[in-house]
Amino acid sequence: MLSAWKNKDSAVVIGLMSGTSLDGIDAAVVQITSHGMDLESKLLHFETAPYTPDLREALKKLCSQDHSSSAAVCGMNAYLGEHFAAAAQKAAEGAGLKLEDIDLISSHGQTIWHIPERSAQDFFLIPSTLQIGDLSVIAKHTGRMTVGDFRPADMAVGGQGAPLVPFGDLMLFRHPEKGRLLQNIGGIGNCTAIPAGNTSGELLAFDTGPGNMIIDEMVQVLSGGKLSYDDGGVWAAQGNVHEGLVQDLMAHRYFQMAPPKSTGRELFGKSYAAAFMEQASHRGLSDADMIATATAFTACSIEASLRHHVFPVMHIDEVILSGGGARNHELCRMLQERLPEQKIMTSKALGIDEDAKEAAIFALLGYACLQGIPNNIPAATGAKTSTVMGKIALP
């Protein structure tokens, strides 16, 4: 079965992605064609299978040291595998295909914990990461070969296991004459800076900090659970930004670190959002002011990251937004206001759906794995060498 991939220069792959926003499973059906080490892709269909509020809350507990348990992780690993399999089945149908027409499923899984650096306090907490949504469950339920669990391979060769999307950003967005900055705004924000006429060794990528994660958590709390996100940034647009609080938040140690660096709910999750709201309440901010200030914090963290780490070393002609944050008009307005010298657009302007981009990139990562193409970018993750990431589950 695996030997058939050695000379396979075209395949239909379903990429599955669930990010730190914990909003659902993104499924992209992608036609991939290889030209040596270069890959081309065409999006055939995209859809999202939303998590129920109960499942979202259960996953948030798994991302907390105080509320998680081995039994809960064990059970959710298999439970999510079934949900990822169902999402793949539905996506294939949406593309007008049968599962038998799908050559490969490639799943990022759901990150519940990420340790990018060795702990100074606990000898056993070495660099490591955990994504759940069992690959064997997906493979057996769909009857399709499944690739996933990409991050540990990069960490095994000295990287942080993140960010991984620069591999796809390079394939999809490099330009011979334009320097491009790809800024994804999911639960966490991550950027990929690609110089004009680039090579992967010149690429710069890292997590910029919180994306939608804090905004979403505050919206859910302040709306009494009626809302899970600020649709279009409408709530934020009704409030006033407390710049003093934004600057206090920017003193967090993460923003002082140089790349390569990566983060997640371990730093900017539910507890951080609760502390944020407590500070905002003490300063007399209204609910709308809190959402506006959280949105400005995301915009400021992105601006600071680009000005400190990217612009001094690379000329950028275009800043291209993707992820759910690209649909938050108030966040986009704040970014343009903070980066007036930059041309800011969404990936849709270049023909790639803002929400589909990451799932489509994981399709590319899975295809590259089976082709034996190194699919990490050491310049982004800090790995000592290029390597092939991914584990294979047979149907």
Token duo for residue 79: 């439970």
CA distances for 93 relative to 5, 44, 142, 262, angstroms? 24, 11, 12, 35
Beta bridge partners of 293: none
DSSP 381: H
Token duo for residue 33: 């064609």
CA distance 362 to 129: 17
Q: Binding residue per annotation — 353? A: no
Nearest in space to 216 (alpha carbons), one of 394, 60, 339, 392: 60
Element spanning 245, H or E: helix 243-249
Judging by DSSP bridges, how do beta strands 391-393 and 146-148 pair with one another? antiparallel
Q: Binding residue per annotation — 19? A: yes
Q: Binding residue per annotation — 387? A: no
Q: Binding residue per annotation — 21? A: yes
Q: Binding residue per annotation — 26? A: yes
Sheet with 318-322, edge to edge strand ranges:
204-210, 188-194, 180-185, 318-322, 343-346
CA distance 301 to 323: 16
What type of residue sits at position 390? G
Helix 70-94, helix 135-142: angle, nearest 10: 40
CA distance 193 to 216: 26
The dihedral region occupied by 21, where left means phi > 0, alpha psi between -120 and 50, and beta the remainder, is alpha
Q: Binding residue per annotation — 394? A: no
Q: CB–CB of 262/115 below 8 Å?
A: no
Q: Binding residue per annotation — 207? A: no
CB within 8 A of 340, min separation 6: which ones? none
CA distance 143 to 164: 27
Binding residues for ATP: 19-26
Binding residues: 19-26
